[in-house]
Amino acid sequence: MRKQKKRFIACILALTLAGGQLVPASAAGTDQMPAQEKTVGTVEETQENQETDLTDQGDMAESGENPDKDPAEDADAPDSVQDDTDSSQDDAGSTEEQDPEAGAGEEEAGKTGGETETLPDGEIPEDTDETTPDMDAEGQTEEAAEEEQDLLTQSLEEPVAGVSYQISGQSNMEKPVMDGAVAGRPGSGQRIEGISIKLYTKEGEEQPAGGIRYRAHVQNIGWMDWVSDDDYAGTKGQSLRMEAVQIELTGEIKEKYDVYYTTYVQNIGWLGWAKNGQSSGTEAFSRQVEAIRICLVEKGSEAPGENQGYFVKGLPSSALSATAHIQIYGDRTTTGSGKLIGTTGEKKRMEGLRLTIKGAGESGCPSGGIRYRAHVQNIGWQGWKQNGELAGTKGKSLRMEAIQIELTGELARYYDVYYSAHVQQLGWLGWAKNGESAGTEAFYYRMEAMKICLVKKGDPVPGTAGNAFCKGYSTGNLKYSGHVQNIGNTREVTNNQILGTVGKSLRMEALKIRLTNAAMNGRSGGIQYRAHVQNIGWQGWKQNGALAGTTGRALRMEAVQIQLTGEIAKYYDIYYRAHVQNFGWLGWAKNGQSAGTTGYGYRMEALQIQMVPKGGNAPANSGYYKQYTGKKSLNVPLTYQNPKYPNGCEAISLYMVLRYYGYMLTTNDVCNKYLPRGPLHSTNPYAAYMGNPGSLTGGYGCWAPVICQTAANYFKAVNVKNRSAKNITGTSLEGLFQYIDKGMPVVVWGTLNMGSTTWFRAGRKNGVTFYWPSRAHCVVLTGYDKNRKVVKVNDPIRGKVEYSFSSFEKAYRTMNRNAMVIQ
């Protein structure tokens, strides 16, 4: 039946192309001529009839009538009308045997005469003059019949034979698929471990003699033996990936068909279509096949895709060759990926470089090449060179400073090229890849060595990516300005220019510094600075254009500290020097050192700043700072005790010291939360505060141990472990100065205005009487000046004041030299 239907459809298609119509066999004299001649003759007759009856047929079509049929026939027609289209004849003119399902009347239907016979419903005579509606033996609808005919028509274009294949995946055997369908899971990361393939014959067709054979390339094994016709190629239960496959037809069928196949490879994707025994996949790449498609194509028919790019073989380990031209040594050649090119630890510059890749485009290896260019001293970036040409120079004593390398052609699809530069002062930088820059620019550093690695796509990189290239600052990236006596704000100047005045006796009062393009080729960082100011001392750090110093207060800057931050500090040093009253230009300080003077009371009049690449041509670093050792001052923030805590001088003095160290708390925290307190007339002042510090008449005070305990309570509450309170009662005045020299302000017990005092009975408990001095007062010692013989204190009642050595020491001694510090 299948053959009959296909031949019938073929006949219809042939007639349609000829522009003819199909007529009953009896009308064509089927008993007297071969089938082919009858068909042609019938077409010619029908064409003549069509030309003469065209007008009448058109009119009747508009009315819905059939122009070729007597209306009386419709009335007498049986439910199952006859159709001549199921009849076909062989080359000898005899009618083919019909499907047994045709039922009764089978022999009569094979006659060549024009007689007809009424048949049971659903049966079709072999030869009849009458047309039949679109209804099959089982009552198919017209649409269903048309769909079946479409499928049959399409089947005429399909091969007689097909291919079925089944893969063994990473976890189990998958269902078989056929004729170009995808077997496996592309992009899933799951390997194919093996495959079985067989041919099959499509229904009703005769397959040419022959078979199919195939073999797999497997991890750790290589090419396995050939197997055929549904045997298994590959491995099971060994967790070994299939990496490539070869498939070919055998016997008669290979003369009529080509077998095409393509593989989906890990990290690469679908390759081109291989055919007839060609290798599909990869070798020496360590890549798993994740999916496969196979189909048969009749000879001369269109292929499913391009027959190219279907197999990739890895380059040999010795494929990369590099020849470096090195200072003193000349040319040195290195073979292989990841090998050292150049020298380290010898301070020899690389001057030139040649690169080649051997074996590209040979024996299945990807085609393509390698190209590269160098950044050279006094030249900059050169043009691209390739495949053994010289990048850089020879005989000119010019250093290479940076390099860019990239692959070309198919090599770039399957490989990445990684490279790292060893640079003067910086050592090994990170890894660049595929045309990125490695080395430095605008640093004037020689490139001394490098490493180059060819890495298959998806394989681990040879080292840390990034930070492979450093592009330096230009002189215009550093900008600074200031505020000068009688002038006001100055214009910005750039690297190594003078800010301020020389020879005019004008003080600098403020400073701003900034870096433009502070990211520096992806490296974060900036610049920070602080000023030592008259009556203030060292201020806090400012950064990136903020104001250090003062304006509108007529206070001189006396010294400055400047430093770089972030990764920029790894590549640059910052140098600066001050022009100072009575001294002139001092030497160059760098990287946070103090430039200027402290303790002299001298104004800073001018400033120069420059950035220098590490190891570059820098000025001498000496004679940049002068300090008068007889004078010292700390910048402790001032807080007043009144009106909230009229008897709280001890607690408020501790509060000022804690704020000096940067702790964020309130006066209420110190006085009411952390300060140990007791009743006014029954408390030991060495154990707790007597009374209430917030009361004008209900509080006396306490001694150093209580304030030490207060600080300890606070540190415990906020989990501070790197600082503690220290009771230094009994320390001499000179000893107190030593704490100031270390940057540690001191809480000191004295008297109001450092005047006289008398002791009175303040309370009693458990038979012990407690005495307290009248006019007792606590202050913070912040500095001293031995030349003037004065101390500087933060007085919580009077503010920032100075007392003579003698008056301060007398009051301090009267209070039994009570003192404490935070260390």
Give the DSSP per-residue string, 193-260.
Answer: EEEEEEEEEPTT-PPPS-EEEEEEEETTTEE---EETT-EEE-SSS---EEEEEEEEETTHHHHEEEE
Spatial separation of the C-alpha atoms in residues 792 and 748, rounded to whole Å: 12
Residues 191 and 249 in one domain: yes
**Residues near 582 by beta carbon (within 8 Å), at least 6 away in sequence:** 600, 602
Across the range 21-37, mean pLDDT stands at: 36
Structure tokens at 291: 């999916």
Least trusted range by pLDDT, from 63-67, 326-330, 660-664, 697-701: 63-67
Burial class (CB in 10 A: 0-12, 13-18, 19+), 18: middle
Q: What is the CB neighbour count within 10 angstroms for residue 698?
A: 14
Q: Are 507 and 605 in contact (CB under 8 A)?
A: yes
What is the model's pLDDT at position 207? 65
Residues 654 and 791 in one domain: yes
DSSP helix/strand/coil, 525: strand
| 37: phi then psi, degrees, rounded to nearest 5 | -65, -40
Q: Is the residue at 461 inside a domain? A: no
Q: Is the residue at 666 inside a domain? A: yes
Q: Where are the alpha helices (DSSP H) in 661-742?
A: 667-668, 704-717, 733-741
Q: What is the CB neighbour count within 10 angstroms for residue 352?
A: 22
Q: What is the CB neighbour count within 10 angstroms for residue 229?
A: 14
Q: Is the residue at 174 inside a domain? A: yes
The rounded percent of the chain whose pLDDT value lies above 90 is 70
Give the DSSP per-residue string, 338-375.
Answer: T-EEE-SSS---EEEEEEEETTTTSTTPPP-EEEEEEE
Q: Are 341 and 452 in contact (CB under 8 A)?
A: yes
Spatial separation of the C-alpha atoms in residues 242 and 289, rounded to whole Å: 6
Q: Give the tens place of pLDDT for each residue, 158-184.
A: 557 899 999 999 878 999 999 999 999
Across the range 646-661, mean pLDDT stands at: 98
**Residue from 682, 713, 699, 704 nearest 648 by CA:** 699
Q: Is the residue at 639 inside a domain? A: no
Q: Give the tens place of pLDDT for each residue, 428-439.
A: 999 999 999 999
Q: Which residue has the tokens 């050939």?
A: 226
| 475: phi then psi, degrees, rounded to nearest 5 | -65, -25
Which uninterrupted H or E stretch holds 484?
Answer: strand 478-484
Structure tokens at 257: 């068909």
Q: Are 645 and 693 in contact (CB under 8 A)?
A: yes
Spatial separation of the C-alpha atoms in residues 778 and 704, rounded to whole Å: 10
Q: What is the CB neighbour count within 10 angstroms for residue 318?
A: 11
Q: What is the CB neighbour count within 10 angstroms for residue 276?
A: 15
DSSP helix/strand/coil, 57: helix
Residues 607 and 512 in one domain: yes
What is the model's pLDDT at position 47? 39
Give the DSSP per-residue string, 287-334.
Answer: --EEEEEEEEEETTSPPSS-SSS-EEEPPPTT-EEEEEEETTTEEEEE
Residues 403 and 308 in one domain: no
Q: Give the tens place of pLDDT for each residue, 213-251.
A: 999 999 999 999 999 999 999 999 999 999 999 999 999
Q: What is the CB neighbour count within 10 angstroms for residue 177?
A: 18
Q: Is the residue at 469 inside a domain? A: no
pLDDT at residue 17 tops 50: no
Q: Give the tens place of pLDDT for each residue, 413-453.
A: 999 999 999 999 889 999 999 999 999 998 889 999 999 99
Across the range 276-299, mean pLDDT stands at: 96
Which uninterrupted H or E stretch holds 50?
Answer: helix 35-63
Number of domains comprising the chain: 5
Residue type, 351: E
Across the chain, what does the average pLDDT equal?
84
Q: Is the residue at 640 inside a domain? A: no
Residues 721 and 738 in one domain: yes
- Residue ending a domain, choose from 313, 342, 359: 313
**pLDDT band with cut points at 50, 70 and 90 for residue 201:** confident
**pLDDT band with cut points at 50, 70 and 90 for residue 107:** very low
Q: Are 247 and 265 in contact (CB under 8 A)?
A: no
**pLDDT band with cut points at 50, 70 and 90 for residue 147:** low
**Residue from 747, 750, 740 nearest 651 by CA:** 747
Q: Is the residue at 470 inside a domain? A: no
Structure tokens at 446: 């020689």
What is the model's pLDDT at position 555? 98
Residues 10 and 138 in one domain: yes
Q: Which pTM was predicted?
A: 0.52
What is the model's pLDDT at position 278? 96
Q: What is the CB neighbour count within 10 angstroms for residue 788?
A: 12
DSSP helix/strand/coil, 28: helix
What is the model's pLDDT at position 136? 44
pLDDT at residue 88 tops 90: no
What is the model's pLDDT at position 143? 57
Beta bridge partners of 718: none
Across the range 667-675, mean pLDDT stands at: 97
Q: Give the tens place of pLDDT for each residue, 245-274.
A: 999 999 999 999 999 999 999 999 999 999
pLDDT at residue 51 tops 90: no
Residues 484 and 438 in one domain: no
What is the model's pLDDT at position 90? 40
Residues 26 and 125 in one domain: yes
- Residue ending a domain, choose from 135, 155, 175: 155
CA atoms within 13 A on the CB side of 485: 16
Q: Give the tens place of pLDDT for each residue, 634-648.
A: 999 999 999 999 999
Residues 144 and 217 in one domain: no
CA 645 to chain centre: 58
Across the range 803-810, mean pLDDT stands at: 97
**pLDDT band with cut points at 50, 70 and 90 for residue 81:** very low
Q: Are 112 and 24 in contact (CB under 8 A)?
A: no
Residues 673 and 555 in one domain: no
What is the model's pLDDT at position 531? 98
**pLDDT band with cut points at 50, 70 and 90 for residue 570:** confident
Q: Which position has the higher pLDDT, 797 or 63?
A: 797
- Residue ending a domain, choose from 155, 187, 214: 155
Residues 804 and 695 in one domain: yes
Burial class (CB in 10 A: 0-12, 13-18, 19+), 676: middle
What is the model's pLDDT at position 749? 98
Spatial separation of the C-alpha atoms in residues 197 and 170, rounded to whole Å: 18
Domain of residue 92, residue span: 2-155
CATH number at residue 741: 3.90.70.10
Residues 723 and 810 in one domain: yes
**pLDDT band with cut points at 50, 70 and 90 for residue 22:** very low
Q: Is the residue at 544 inside a domain? A: yes
What is the model's pLDDT at position 599? 83
Least trusted range by pLDDT, from 126-135, 142-151, 382-391, 514-523: 126-135
